[in-house]
Structure 1
Amino acid sequence: MNKDEAERCIDIARKAINKSDYHKAIRFLNKSKKLHPTPEADGLIQLCEMNLKHKPASAPSGSMSSDGPYKRKAQDKPAEEEPKKKNYTADEVKLCTQILQKTNYYEILGVEKKATEAEIKKKYRKLALRLHPDKNNAPKATDAFKKVSTAYMCLSDAKKRDIYDQHGTEDNFRQNYGQYFREEEEFDPFDFFDIFTGGNMYNQRVRRNNYQRRQHAQNQGNQNQNPLAQLAPLFFVFLLMILANIGGNFATGSSYSFTMTSEFNQKLISETHHVKYYVDQDTYNSLIQNDRERYNIEGTIEQDFYKQNLKECRYNKDVQSHWIRQARYYTQGSHKYNQNIEKANLIDLSSCEVVQKMKETSESNRYYNRRTGW
């Protein structure tokens, strides 16, 4: 998903370059690098910077100043761009009010908790188009637009959605993981909408600049926060590992566990993949007397074991990738570079080995493969 979004950012940047809006291009190229670093993005940034050096001081209308993403030269804003009072309907005000009163991301987007990614995307697009300040002129349209975008950013990301589902409301979610998801407070919802639509919807210049000035004022205050807050993303990385391990201890059903507990204290080992699992005394007595029942339940147990190891494998690979990305910010061979690479190499990928071994076993056993659906 990150790679696709990064490519869309590059596409938007190319369009901006064609219009000589190099500041906007650089902004989207930096977003692209954050999502998925590529030599193409680096090359285009160099091209933009070179053009800016040989460009007259006057920037194109709607571009950002070189002083920062939220500062703007006075001469860049023609008088006719001043916001004008516009009409809006009672329905538009009602929609904004309804969105702002909700705290559950699923309710904000109007989808069920079991909604698919496609359903969530469809709902976001529909609401974003109705709430976009260039279309909806109600007083709270910008805030409602941002709230919808924030909900979509969370629910469209599998990992964030998994964490969010454990808390259920925006307040609880932010209280526990607000530092990690701070980008949802800092991101520009208009840029996000540009990425989502390919940069072809609406003229967002005036509304975006108003929003960015407010955000800049907030960011100035945040710069004095405790520097330990910068470690929050790393804390979350390790939290993912902990959650993955916790999730692996219990099966999706409540009839068995992969670790011994006071309730599940009778040990059994599955026949095909030799998975160790525990059941209660009654289930144990039933299974050792009925081979067919045991054979059937072990198919489900092995599937659960496979899925949970696959989930843990993906989490740990993401953690490893994080440290590798961190290393790229430093010169190869430097202390910081080696330190991050060492952390990446220390990540436990034994769950990935389990997944690979189970795949090989099931592929060699065609009947088992058909029975389990692997």
Structure 2
Amino acid sequence: MTPTSLLPERAPAPVQPTARRRPLGALVVAVAILLGTPAAVQASYAEREDARAFAAEIAGRHALDAAEVERALAGARHDPEVIRLITPPARKGVRSWRSYRARFLDRTRIDGGMRFWREHADTLARAERDTGVPAEVIVAIIGVETIYGRNTGNFETLSTLATLAFDYPPRAELFRGELEALFLLAREQGRDPASYYGSFAGALGYPQFLPSSMRAYALDFDNSGAIDFESDPIDAIGSVANYLRAHGWQAGAPVAERARLSPATDAASLVTAGIEPTLAPAMLADNGVTTVDGRAAAAAATLVDLETPGADTEYWLGYRNFYVITRYNRSSFYAMSVFELAEALRLGRLVEEIRAERR
């Protein structure tokens, strides 16, 4: 299970107020009654048969106390804002790479990323040595996800996941699994399940891991005896690197290169081959696809199309490491934003080191 890759393609959430929020409880119920919301949504989750069956099921599977699970669910509240935010629009607008890119390739993330790298240089260097994942990629993911911890989300995770597990049929199975993982994570960490806060999709902390990903990939990278994604980024740095390594990151291999297409290239048919890099260099060359300087692709690749209305589409060769970034978020726009931010940070770091040597 990945941080967010089983969710619909998305952009990371905009910055939210830092104050933690809870669902509105009684007010929500009153509004639901006025609006004719189904009774199942109005009821406490502990009073609902589907939630009680869930409690019994995970209790039996994991030796949890079913009564304690039900008590926790009694404190969870349906949150209509969660449903609103996660529901895809009825009609999607035209995708724009330039608009998307501008959200993440800005001074806030570049300058903030340079400060973050300076502050945690030793930790990032250790993560890179241990996993082969470059420091700039780790920093870029944390920057795109949460602006280096500034925007970790203020939704109570128990209520968020209960809402999605029991009141959002399109992804109920996924979120029931995440709600189950939250109870197991809370037991492992000795915490109240209601003590977690995160995004409207249930993602947590600096790296925005879903609970199942925390359990599978999170590391106690500072050897403190506990994993902390909320107040210190050290564990997040190690965990992001570990996640990418576990999903097949190739140390020293390229991520992406700008592509050049011949006038005869059928770009659409190549793009539809999918995001996984399965197109051989020779096959791409035979179809008129090379790097901008005329070289063949460095390895098997995917052809990535970055569309902007009113502008020429950018085409890139995405290699295995590009695909690995999409395991974090199933979006070529997302992966390219991470890659370009990482490149900006790498070059900025190089300039800093050159200046330091000249002093």
TM, length-normalised to structure 1: 0.24
Structure 1 or 2: more helix by fraction: 1
TM, length-normalised to structure 2: 0.25
Rg larger in structure: 1
